[in-house]
Amino acid sequence: MKKVVLVTGASAGIGKSTAILLAQNGYNVYGAARRMEKMQDLESYGIKPLVLDVTKDESIRDVISRILDEAGRIDILINNAGFGLEGAIEDVPIADARYQLEVNVFGAMRLAQLVLPKMRENKYGKIVNISSVGGKIAFPLGGWYHASKFALEALSDSMRIEVRQFGIDVIVVEPGATKSEWGTIATDSLMKVSGHTAYKELAAKTHKAFTKLSTGLAEPIVIANLVKKGIEAAQPKTRYTVKDMNSRALFILSKLLSDKLMDKLIMSQIK
């Protein structure tokens, strides 16, 4: 039988590429996102698009109920929905910070809560949480985004141990800089939030650094292939990280250097 997959954030970028790749490889894929109009083309791949707002519990429950009614189970959940809120911690309105965590953390965990009972019953399941290099290393003016990804990593670690006894795997995928709408949304919010505050000089330098990074980004299919590798492994790794040189170097240096030396390294890249 085809494995049943729910991919969130399937309207663009990593989510869309992952949904298409899995559908092309024999999975029964449901793609979910807020923007139905951005998912109409998924139907040509046999993907079933569903409207989902991960900040609304009723929307989450409706999506899970519909898939269970139609397919009888959800074998694989890919928590990809998310966005990046940039700006100094002092500048970001708390309401916006809460929304960042609602989307990137609470929405993902609520979906996990609702798929786990059937997975436990079937003694099989895969939950893939799309984190980030920013779930391990924090940069200035991205504190609330990093907080959401650090939290997602910690929750994944706890859940992995809790559900292993039921035949369920929890896998974290950590993309580096990837072509998607994320970058545009993040840089726009950076200048809007902190471009005219006490942090405006740092914001301008960071914006310039983001712009430089916008060339040579990884294609979303690279991450999609990592997701596929993880869910098809008999004994998946706990984490799959994109092996670009920048991400690899950052991970290594973060383990070798003191916090203060890492701060200096990060600031040297921004300047």
The residues that are catalytic are 11, 131, 145, 149
- Helices and strands per DSSP (H, E), number in the chain: 10, 7
3-state secondary structure at position 202 = helix
- Please give the sequence-ordered ranges of beta strands (E in DSSP) within the chain, or none if there are none: 4-8, 28-33, 48-51, 76-79, 125-130, 168-174, 239-241
Residue 141 token pair: 């003016």
**CA geometry: angle at 174 spanning 251 and 143, to 5°?**
75
Give the closest residue to 240 by CA, choosing from 14, 12, 20, 2: 14
Amino acid identity at 93: P
* Cα–Cα distance, 118 to 157 (Å, whole number): 21
Residue 30, beta-bridge partner list: 6, 48
Contact 204, 195 (CB under 8 A): yes
